[in-house]
Amino acid sequence: MHFRPSYINGLTVPQREFSWPEGEDLLDPEISQISRLRPQFQEEYAANGPSFLRPNCPLDRVMREKTPFPTVLITGASGGIGEAFAHVAAGEGHPLILVARTEAELHRVRGVVIARYAVPVTVIVLDLSKPGACDELANELEARKLAPDILINNAGFGLIGKAAELPRENQLQMIDLNVRALSDLTLRFLPAMIAKGSGGIINVASTAGFMPGPNMAVYFATKAYVMSFTEALFEETKGSGVTLTT
């Protein structure tokens, strides 16, 4: 079985290394042109779906919905890869649900996305590493009558240092976020996607998942889990209309 590391627009992007200069038009000219092209070709876009503009977009490979604009929930959306996913999805017309623990940065992303793409953006401020946070997120979505058609589990962090010397509680918090929260949200939303016969989940992994990582032992192990977990679910959901990828 072939398994791909995390990517955006076809590029391998390690989570902790991804950034772009302030004010830059995202990852490449193709993405930066989306906001200009979409209004010009609105009818064609609605008729043909996101592939009309970006045939190689990973979100397109995840699913082809009955409606052209399924709702995308992104965790860790206040910067980095999560913010990039928000721009890619919004550029295709998807309504967004953005989740992160940093309120100011989350609202900054929301403002930029709305101004650039004019799509609905809901923000939910939560630290998913905390006990009960996933329940709180589910309750908030239910209260707002929202449900994700595509889930992007991007929230995560890493620590550098020898495992025996790093604070134990911080390493366990890493497991809580990188593994437990990702698993919780995947297992929470996957049954509904299978029931309706459509949906997609992207669990952001890393090239770290392919090998052990001295001085980042727990982080590398969490990414290996993400890859193994997602690949197994990919096999389990074949033919269901739901796609899982990293």
Give dist(CA 32, CA 175) in Å, integer: 35
Give dist(CA 202, CA 21) in Å, integer: 25
Report the pLDDT value the prediction gives residue 68, as an integer from 0 to 100. 61
- Model-level pTM? 0.74
Q: 219 catalytic, yes or no?
A: yes
The number of folded domains in the chain is: 1
> Any idea what the CATH number is for the domain that residue 24 is in?
3.40.50.720
CA nearest neighbour of 73 among 153, 159, 160 = 153
Classify residue 2: in a domain, yes or no: no
CA nearest neighbour of 207 among 2, 15, 1 = 15
Residue 208's pLDDT band (boundaries 50, 70, 90)? confident
* Gyration radius of the chain's alpha carbons: 17
CA nearest neighbour of 204 among 22, 50, 17, 56 = 17
Structure tokens at 106: 């989350």
Classify residue 1: in a domain, yes or no: no
**Helix, strand, coil shares, percent, the chain, to 5:** 50, 15, 40
Residue 187's pLDDT band (boundaries 50, 70, 90)? very high
Residue 210's pLDDT band (boundaries 50, 70, 90)? confident
Mean pLDDT of 146-162: 96
CA nearest neighbour of 168 among 235, 213, 118, 217 = 217
What are the CA-CA distances from residue 139 to residues 21, 34, 207 (Å)? Answer: 36, 34, 34
Mean pLDDT of 215-240: 95
The pLDDT tens digits of the residues spanning 13-40 come to: 333 333 333 333 333 333 333 333 344 4
Name the pairing type of β-strands 7-8 and 11-12: antiparallel
Secondary structure (DSSP) of 11-22 = EE--GGG----T
Domain ranges, residue 152: 7-245
CB 106 within 8 A of CB 74: no
Has residue 45 got a pLDDT over 70? Answer: no
Residue 69's pLDDT band (boundaries 50, 70, 90)? confident
Catalytic residue among 45, 117, 219, 225: 219
